Amino acid sequence: MKKIKELLSNDDFTEENYQTLEKKLFSDSTPHDELGRICMTFAHLPSKRAQDLLASFKESANAHKVEWLDLAIEEGQFVYLSPQNEQEEKDYLALKVIQEMQDKVIDL
């Protein structure tokens, strides 16, 4: 398996990568520090699946082993909702302008 940094920067996180990390995430034998690395990896993947896995892990018996899990989930939501390319950035800005205009109309 490739290093996590390579996977995140190359945008080629595969189904096999998800399955491997998911299995480790929910295994009782996974060391504490590795659980943290897996949570941080999922927090930085802009996918619904990664966010769902973090949410499921939060409900697991091993969640207490990652003290900053809530922060990882919050960061993951930010990454997931952030624009990932130029078109998404334009769409986001357009929606922001529309929302501001609607707010002004309501204030009238």
Assess whether pLDDT exceeds 50 at residue 7: no
Tens of pLDDT, residues 12-51 = 788 899 999 999 999 999 999 999 999 999 999 988 999 9
Assess whether pLDDT exceeds 50 at residue 90: yes
For the entire predicted model, the pTM comes to 0.72
Using alpha carbons, select from 76, 91, 87 the residue that is nearest to residue 8. Answer: 76
42 near 76, Cβ under 8 Å? yes
Model pLDDT, residue 10: 43
28 near 60, Cβ under 8 Å? no
Tens of pLDDT, residues 44-79 = 998 899 999 999 999 999 999 999 999 999 998 888
